[in-house]
Structures are given as structure tokens and as C-alpha cells.
Structure 1
């Protein structure tokens, strides 16, 4: 009967257990020195060797002729355990035996000494699936275990195991296996099987196994079904149903070039070949992750193990890190959405349109926010003092400091930063500007302050905030607008799309600073309230109640 590769080549000694050197060394030392604990917890992702290590450990502690902590695999005890004939080595699946009755039954059996071996070993797989009652029953066994009993608990979700269990066992965390180690092991097994694969195939398997040797061997097993002397890359991607590196690279380039037509054509080609859309999105996320690492790390080494390395390296040098992060976020959102979508292709197409268009729009929005931050939303050129009108164009350094965008050509004086203005003013001009910025307090005392007056002063107020060192406040306020001033309360409204800035500016410290500044600026006691556009109807109703019953008689909650 045919045996799967991951079963056929399951590690039989600690030396054969690849990628977990520190764990195997510790376990071998314990066995050699006869310092064996009564309970162990093996945790880690799937396919990293937890169950294999447990079986090797069970053989080693019962071996008649151990060799430096490793089982000999030749004595009667080793053969009995390897052939599943040993009744003293019990392997349980906690997913299907997770009730309190199962553990109570286990509790009754463990008191009996082993029949033929030195130790009775219980291997409980997926132990985190046990119920609360079952864990409590297991705890009773671990508190006072018999001397002949050893528990090995394997789990992929260590955080779900109660701390009372964790504190009574030795914990070993099995890490993901390095891709290069996976490739070396795949080459060894391929040679033993009398097969041959190209190096690109080994890289493909390693990249799709997520650090799990069992997954890698399962993929290799699937490829061995091809009736070919040499398994090449094209055959491998055809069998596995994944997209080729070439078409992934073309799609990545199209997204970076904002070429919607080319991106859609590549997607259509993938779709016609019957490839899984979810796998395609996952591959795209992986490639943009590689671009991110190549962009930020000078020598990525084993962090990036891909074909077409030089091309991706060149792409990373000509792209902004913010755009990479934006694309990764968009694709991750798409990956979540396709799970519940009836047509996955449409969801991915929407994300492609967003990527090829939204970042450009985001850039424009950022520039507009900078302009509004400097001059206010109700900006009127006649309101700018003569000293400011002399400034024609910002320098390239100023553009970088304020916008952090691409080079802006032919910009007018509206894009000049406050820092640039302040730097160009002479002492006499600075005094003139200060006089302009300062409100005429006597006029305000004579004439009632209203929203129109505040709107006309708003640009100057934002600049004064900047001069006081509170740069965050004018940036946040630039997305809001002066909506109303009534009953000594200034209402500043934000659109729903700017809810993040609305929450940030609503901090008590920010409100206190703004109110204190406005009180000194207008020589009046002024309260500030921020609202979202979606809450406008509610605010209008509350204001009417305040007018009807008095502001002091209405409590806002």
C-alpha cells in the first residue's frame, strides 16, 4: 500500500528532526541524564514536528539501547512503538475526546503501571480543544502524577491552555522551519525517491508551505504524480493551481504603474486559467511584503527568497514605502472580503481600481489639506497681509517639509508653508504681520462677535497655533470648518470621512488649549464644541432645547 511522503519520511530520531535544533538538544540531554519530567507541552504551527518529536521521545525513554538520548530503533521496545503495537504508548486526539468523561476515564487508567515498557506515555494532540471540565480533570492527574507516567501535550494554540496546566509542564515552542532547510530536505527526499525537480520548483514549494515541513512534503508528493523525468516550474504551478511568478510580477508592475488596463488584462488571464482568486491575492500580498522588506532592509538575506529577485529589488528602489503599505492594506481587506463574496473576481477588480486610482486621489487630498491648513477653507486673497502677498512660490525644501509629496511644478503662493513665511520675514515685517494676526479687541467689545468674524480670522488663528508649537492642532482643524457661533460657543464641524481627526481634536487637552487661546485672542470667554456632519440634526435639536430651557439646564451625555 502506498504511503504518503510525510509518513514515509517521518523523523525516527532527534537527529533527523530538522529545524528544531535547540529543542532536540534539550530533550536529548534530559534523556541522557535521566532527568525526565512528568509533563511536556509542545506548541507551534502545524507541520513543524511536534507529534514526531513526541513519538521519538516516547521511544527514547523506553529504548533498551539509547544512543546519546536518541532511540536505537532496533530493540523490541522501539519496534513496538514504531509499529503502534505498544499498549503503553497512547496517542489521543483531544478534538474528538474533549469531554470531562474522557479525561476521567483516562485518570482511572493512568494509575496502573506499564505492561511491557518502563514508562507509560500519553500523547494528547490538539490539547487546547479540551473543555473546561476536562482541563480540570487533567489538572488533578498532573498535580500528583505516578512515577511511571509521562504526558506530552501538543497544541497549535498555546494561549487557550489554562495557566494552571502550563505551570505544571515544561514548554517547548516549535518554530517555523527555515525555507533553506525545507529546500535541502526536499532535495534529499527527491533523490531518495529517484525523482528530479528544478531549483525553481523547490523555491515554489518552500514559499507555499508556510514553514511547515509536512505541507512541503504533501506538495512534493502531489508533484511526484506527474509522469515526468524532471518536474519543471510550469508543470508545478499547473498542478498546484497557483499563478506563475511571471504573471504575478506583471500584475505587481501594473499596480505600481497605475496601469488599470494592464492590471485587468493580467487578472483576466489568471481567471481564464482557473486559478483561485484567494491564492492570487495571497501571492500579491506576499510579493508586496517582499517589496516592503527590500525597500527598508539593505541586506534582507533569507527574509526574501523569491525568483526574479533583481527585478523586485529594482522596483523597490523606485516606489514610496507609504504606497507599498497602502497597497498591502487594500489587498488584505480584499482577502477578508472575498471569503464572503459570491463573485471573488469582482471584489479583486474593485480593489485593483482602488489601488490604481485612490493613491493619486489621496495625494491630491493631502495637498488640499495643506492649502487649507495654511489659508483656511474660506480663504480670500484680499485677507492676506501685504508682507505675505510678496511670497510667490515655495522652495523645493519647503514643499518637501509641508507636503512630503512628489515635486510640485508651477505651484502658486497658496502652497507656501507657514515655516517658509516666518523664515522670510524681516523683524519689521514680522511686527506688521503680528499686528495683522492680532484681533482688534476694542472692536470686538463694541461689536458682537459672530461666526463671520471668526471665519475671517480663522486663517490667522491657525497660523498662531503653529507659532505656539502646537503643530498638530492646525493640521487637525484644517479638515474642519467653522459652522456656527452662538451663546459664546464655537461649533466646528467635521465630515464623516474625517472622523479620525474629529476624535483626535476632541481630546480634553486640545479643547482646553484652543479655548484658552480664543479667550485671550478675542478677550471673551469662548467654549469650543466639535461635531460630525452625521450628528448635525441631533446637534440642532439639542441647541433648540438649550434655547428653550436654558443651556445650564441641559446636560450633554
Structure 2
């Protein structure tokens, strides 16, 4: 019968227990010096060696020929424990034996001395699952334990264990195993199995094991069992369902460049290749975490294990730290929310849109956005040169001190403007076209139109249009309006390619010739627009000519 790698290569001695040197040294010294405690608590994340250490400890304290605190694994005592033939070493699962009656039964058994061994050792796994009554019963045993009794409690959630129990144990915290240690162990086991993998495969598995050796061995087992031939990086990503790093870098680059078309297209390609959205989000979090480290830490090589330092450095140079933190915030919230929804792809697409629309609050970007809006209004004819020839923001005249003052007062001035000019609902004018098409008919068909874009594999257009509203239809021109806060959506949808595609689609849909006009709301009146500019940046910084 085939034996899983994590069982086949389970550590049999303390020296084989990788990544927990501080614990190994302490336990071996206690065994050598015969300074044993009656109760130990092994805590830490899954797959870090808690149960393996407990079993090694149980053999070591009962070994007939111990050496430097290590079990010999050859004497009758060690062999009988390894083969589960001895009644003096008991492993319990508290998840299924968590009642008070289970612990009371245990209490009745532990008082008797061991039958063949020196110590009775009880290993209670997932001890935090015990009920309150069971913990109270266990406390009674720990308060006055027999000299021949040793408890080893293992848990991934020590915070759920009562303080009265914790105070009666020696606690050892098992840390996550480093990426380098996992890679070396994976390479060793692969060689023992007479198999071969690309070095990138070991790195891929280690980076996706969250510091758990058991998880890493399970992933390696999955790869090695797929074929007897060499395991390439590409094959490993397919077998494990892990997103190819090259593809993730393309998506990250699109997000940093705020290119919504490229981002949604990359996402769609990844999704159609069968990749799990949850894993993809986790991969993105890791990537942006690495970008954050490169951006903020001088000697970041010690905190990253990757061969693509240059790519991380290039991306970090294109993005502000505030934007990185905002993206990580959005991704982490998406990862938490996505587990409760069925259509994970749509939720993630919404998050991609949110990331691209997010913007930091620095003055330079605000000026750039406002200038773009003003230029757009001039082109639309909303600002007439006969009334206001130009709005001249003299960037050179804004010194550093003034810029800081403007930046600090921006939110206050903006809120004052909004309180003076409250938003009003737009009145929809039902103007008929020269044909049979009118605004009401377009509005009734709008959901069907958005679905049509999705069927045409232009999900990005459907998502962008869902952020806007159809405001008017007259003279065979359809007006689609975005709020000021959705300015980036407006810029993304207004590309020549998008406008042509939407126009052709609607002409075909309604069998009439029509034009599309995208516009920004709340900048309809020329004087109101200029007043908003003055209130945002201060009259002293705006020159009307």
C-alpha cells in the first residue's frame, strides 16, 4: 500500500526535525539531564512538527539505549512504540474525544503505573477542542500528577486553552519553517525517491506551503505521483492548480499601471485556464507584500526568497507605498469576503476595478486629475472660451510650503463646496430620436445590453458601463454619465477602441445609427466648475484670464 510522503519521511529523531532547533536543543537537554516536566504544551501552526516531536519525545524518555537525548529506535521499547504495540504511549484526538467523560476515563487509567515502559506518555492533539468540563477534569490530573505520567498537549490555537492549564505546562512554540529549509528538505526527499524536478518547482511549493513542512510534502507528493518523468515548473503549476508566476506578474503590472483593459483581460485568461480565484488572490497578496518589502526595506534580500528581484524592484519604482497598502487592504478584504459567494470571478473583477480606481491623496495627482477633467469639459463645450478663456493653474508658483497647506486644507474646502452645492438627481428627458428609438426603450434594454457585452468576451466594457448611468438620448446621441469619483472609469471607457466597439454593438442591437457620448457629472455649468476649482485649490492659486 502506498504511503504518503509526509508519513514515509516523518522525523524519527530530534536531529531530523527540521526548522525547530531551539525546541530540539531544550528537549534533548531535559532528557539527558533527566529534568522532565509532567506536562508540555506544543503550540504552532499546522505541519510544523508538533506531533512528530511529541512521538520522538515519548520514545526518547522510554528508550533503553538513549544517546545525547535521542531515541535509538532499535531497542524493544522504541520499536514497540514505533509499531503502536505498547499501551503506555497513547495518542488522543481531542476533536473527537472532547467530553468530560473522556477525560474522566483517562483520569482513571493514568493512576496505574506503566506496564512495560518507564513513563506513561499521553499525547493529546488539538487540545483546544476540549469542552469546559473536560478542561476542568484535565486540570485535576495536572494538579497532582503521578510521577510516571507525562502529558504532551498539542494545539494550533493556544489562546483557547484556559490559563489554569497553561500555567501547569512547559510551553514550546513551533515556528513556521523557513522557505530555504523547506526547499532543501524537498530536494533531499525527491532525490531519495529517485525523481527530479526543476529548482523552481521546489521554490513554488515552498512559497505555497505557509511554512508547513507537511503541506509542502503533500504538494510534492501530488507532483511526483503525476508522472515518473522530470517535473517541470509548467507541469507543477498545472498539477497543483497554482497560478504561474509569469501570469501573476502580468496582472500585477496591469494593476500598478491602472490599465483596466489589460487587468481584466489577464484575469479572464487566468480564469479560463482553470485557476482557482482564491489561490490567485493569495498569490497577488504575496506579490504586493514583496513589492512593499522592496519599497520599504533597505536589505530586503533576507526577507524575500525569489529569483525575480529585478522585476519586483522595477514594479516598486512605479507605485507609491500608500497605493501598495491600499491594494493589500482591498485584496485581503476580498479574500475574506469571497469564501461566502458563489460567483468568485465577478467579486474579484469588482475588486480589480476598485484597485484601479483607488488613488492616493497627494497634491500632484489631484492637480493632474482636475486638469484632465477641465480639458475634457473644454473639449465637450461645457466650458466656453468666450466666457472663460482659460483656467491657469501656475504650478511653478505653488511652492513647497503652499503645496503642503493646500494639501492639508483640501478635504475641508471640498466638503464646504459640497455643502454649498448639494447634489441633485438628474431629470431624465424623454426625447425621441428621429426614428422609433427613445431613452425609455434604451433603459429597458440596458441589462440585456450589458449581458451582450459579456457574451462578446468584453467583460471589461460591461463592468465599466455598470458603474455609469444612461442620462439622455437626443439627436441620435446616447449620453452616458459618470460621477466625478469614477473619473478613472470614465477615462478607461473613453478609449477609441471601446467607443467604436460600443457604438457598433448598439447600432447592431437597435438597428439604428447612433453615437455615444461619455461625460462627467457635476461639471455641467461653467461657473460652477470654476468655483469648484477655486474652492479646492484656493483663490490665491487660480488665475482667471
Would the TM-score normalized by the shorter structure come out above 0.5?
A: yes
**For residues 40 and 25 of structure 1, what CA distance do their matches in structure 2 show?**
15
Q: Which moved more, 1:190-199 or 1:354-363?
A: 354-363
| 2:209 paired with 1:209 | yes
**For residues 166 and 192 of structure 2, what CA distance do their matches in structure 1 show?**
41
**TM-score, structure 1 length as denominator?**
0.68
Q: Provide closer, same or farther for how the CA distance between residues 477 and 262 of structure 1 changes in structure 2, counting only shifts above 3 A.
A: closer
**For residues 105 and 246 of structure 1, what CA distance do their matches in structure 2 show?**
57
Does the Cα contact within 8 Å between 2:256 and 2:318 map onto a contact in 1? no
Aligned residue number for residue 263 of structure 1: 263
Aligned residue number for residue 240 of structure 1: 240
| 2:146 paired with 1:146 | yes
1:323-354 CA-partner distances (Å, limit 9, x unpaired): 11111111112212211222111111111111
Aligned residue number for residue 22 of structure 1: 22
1:116-195 paired onto structure 2 within 5 Å: 116-195=116-195
Gaps spanning 5+ residues in structure 2: where?
372-392, 424-545
Q: Shift in Å at residue 316 of structure 1?
A: 1.0
1:225-236 paired onto structure 2 within 5 Å: 225-236=225-236
1:61-114 CA-partner distances (Å, limit 9, x unpaired): 000000000000000000011111111000000000000110011111100000
**For residues 158 and 393 of structure 1, what CA distance do their matches in structure 2 show?**
58
Aligned residue number for residue 405 of structure 1: none
Q: Shift in Å at residue 363 of structure 1?
A: 7.1
Q: Shift in Å at residue 477 of structure 1?
A: 4.0
Q: Shift in Å at residue 355 of structure 1?
A: 1.6
Q: Shift in Å at residue 366 of structure 1?
A: 5.6
**For residues 351 and 406 of structure 2, what CA distance do their matches in structure 1 show?**
37
Choose from 377, 397, 400 the match for 1:398: 400
**TM-score, structure 2 length as denominator?**
0.70
1:158-188 CA-partner distances (Å, limit 9, x unpaired): 1100110010010000000000000000111
Q: Shift in Å at residue 156 of structure 1?
A: 0.2
Q: Provide closer, same or farther for how the CA distance between residues 218 and 302 of structure 1 changes in structure 2, counting only shifts above 3 A.
A: farther
1:300-379 paired onto structure 2 within 5 Å: 300-359=300-359
Q: Provide closer, same or farther for how the CA distance between residues 307 and 343 of structure 1 changes in structure 2, counting only shifts above 3 A.
A: farther
Does the Cα contact within 8 Å between 2:363 and 2:403 map onto a contact in 1? no
**For residues 354 and 185 of structure 2, what CA distance do their matches in structure 1 show?**
42
Q: Shift in Å at residue 301 of structure 1?
A: 2.2
**For residues 284 and 106 of structure 1, what CA distance do their matches in structure 2 show?**
48
Q: Provide closer, same or farther for how the CA distance between residues 120 and 244 of structure 1 changes in structure 2, counting only shifts above 3 A.
A: same
Q: Shift in Å at residue 318 of structure 1?
A: 2.5
Q: Provide closer, same or farther for how the CA distance between residues 135 and 277 of structure 1 changes in structure 2, counting only shifts above 3 A.
A: same
SS in 2 for 1:2: coil
Q: Which moved more, 1:293-302 or 1:59-68?
A: 293-302
**For residues 368 and 314 of structure 1, what CA distance do their matches in structure 2 show?**
23
1:240-292 CA-partner distances (Å, limit 9, x unpaired): 11210110000001111111111111111111111111111111111001000
SS in 2 for 1:57: helix
**For residues 131 and 476 of structure 1, what CA distance do their matches in structure 2 show?**
53
1:485-507 CA-partner distances (Å, limit 9, x unpaired): xxxxxx9x99xxxxxxxxxxxxx
Aligned residue number for residue 99 of structure 2: 99
Does the Cα contact within 8 Å between 2:206 and 2:216 map onto a contact in 1? yes
Q: Which moved more, 1:259-268 or 1:8-17?
A: 259-268
Does the Cα contact within 8 Å between 1:186 and 1:202 map onto a contact in 2? yes
Aligned residue number for residue 374 of structure 1: none
Does the Cα contact within 8 Å between 1:39 and 1:150 map onto a contact in 2? yes
**For residues 262 and 198 of structure 1, what CA distance do their matches in structure 2 show?**
30
**For residues 365 and 199 of structure 1, what CA distance do their matches in structure 2 show?**
43
**For residues 364 and 101 of structure 2, what CA distance do their matches in structure 1 show?**
65
Aligned residue number for residue 541 of structure 1: none
Gaps spanning 5+ residues in structure 1: where?
372-390, 403-416, 420-470, 485-490, 495-557
Q: Shift in Å at residue 317 of structure 1?
A: 2.0
**For residues 17 and 313 of structure 1, what CA distance do their matches in structure 2 show?**
36
Alpha-carbon RMSD across the aligned residues, in angstroms, is 3.0
Task: Kindly tell me the number of residue pairs found equivalent between the two proteins.
Answer: 406
Q: Shift in Å at residue 362 of structure 1?
A: 8.8
Q: Provide closer, same or farther for how the CA distance between residues 64 and 314 of structure 1 changes in structure 2, counting only shifts above 3 A.
A: same
**For residues 180 and 50 of structure 2, what CA distance do their matches in structure 1 show?**
20
Q: Shift in Å at residue 397 of structure 1?
A: 4.7
Q: Provide closer, same or farther for how the CA distance between residues 394 and 11 of structure 1 changes in structure 2, counting only shifts above 3 A.
A: same
Q: Shift in Å at residue 358 of structure 1?
A: 2.9
1:111-143 CA-partner distances (Å, limit 9, x unpaired): 000000000000000000001110000000000
Q: Whose RCO is larger (CA < 8 A, sep 6+)?
A: 2
SS in 2 for 1:359: coil
Does the Cα contact within 8 Å between 1:43 and 1:172 map onto a contact in 2? yes
Aligned residue number for residue 42 of structure 1: 42
Max Rg structure: 1
Q: Provide closer, same or farther for how the CA distance between residues 369 and 274 of structure 1 changes in structure 2, counting only shifts above 3 A.
A: closer
Does the Cα contact within 8 Å between 1:43 and 1:154 map onto a contact in 2? yes
SS in 1 for 2:72: coil
1:176-208 CA-partner distances (Å, limit 9, x unpaired): 000000000011101110001111000000000
**For residues 393 and 306 of structure 1, what CA distance do their matches in structure 2 show?**
42
1:229-248 CA-partner distances (Å, limit 9, x unpaired): 31110000000112101100
1:380-529 paired onto structure 2 within 5 Å: 395=397, 397-398=399-400, 401-402=403-404, 417=405, 477-478=412-413, 480-481=415-416
Aligned residue number for residue 278 of structure 2: 278
Q: Provide closer, same or farther for how the CA distance between residues 142 and 302 of structure 1 changes in structure 2, counting only shifts above 3 A.
A: same
Does the Cα contact within 8 Å between 1:120 and 1:148 map onto a contact in 2? yes
**For residues 92 and 401 of structure 1, what CA distance do their matches in structure 2 show?**
66
Aligned residue number for residue 59 of structure 1: 59
Q: Provide closer, same or farther for how the CA distance between residues 160 and 370 of structure 1 changes in structure 2, counting only shifts above 3 A.
A: farther
Does the Cα contact within 8 Å between 1:369 and 1:478 map onto a contact in 2? no
**For residues 311 and 368 of structure 2, what CA distance do their matches in structure 1 show?**
35
Does the Cα contact within 8 Å between 2:223 and 2:239 map onto a contact in 1? yes
